[in-house]
Amino acid sequence: MAKIKSIKKEELKDLQDNISKANKIQMQIGGIEAGKLELLEVLKKTTEDLKVIQEALTTAYGDVNIDLQTGEISDEKAVAANKKN
């Protein structure tokens, strides 16, 4: 019967450590991807909500510019006319 050879203990430890490290990294990537999918769903919902808000504001105030800091409204046509002058 032939004698079974083994790799050195330090080689085995190095192999095991690197396989373990690769598995942990793969699990972390999976977690990141799951988080990414959740964030994409939140972004989609937020974009849909924003569109509804913008449509409501357009219905209420017309086609205007709104300063996001102050809430002040400026008429887009008036702004365009001022740029021409």
pLDDT digits (tens, 9 = 90+) for 14-70: 999 999 999 999 999 999 999 999 999 999 999 999 999 999 999 999 999 999 999
Q: What whole-number distance in Å separates Cα of residue 66 and Cα of residue 19?
A: 56
Domain range for 16 is 9-84
3 assigned to some structural domain: no
1 assigned to some structural domain: no
Report how many domains make up the chain. 1
48 assigned to some structural domain: yes
80 assigned to some structural domain: yes
39 assigned to some structural domain: yes
CA distances from 23 to 10, 34, 58, 62 (A): 20, 17, 52, 56
65 assigned to some structural domain: yes
2 assigned to some structural domain: no
Report pLDDT for 4: 85
4 assigned to some structural domain: no
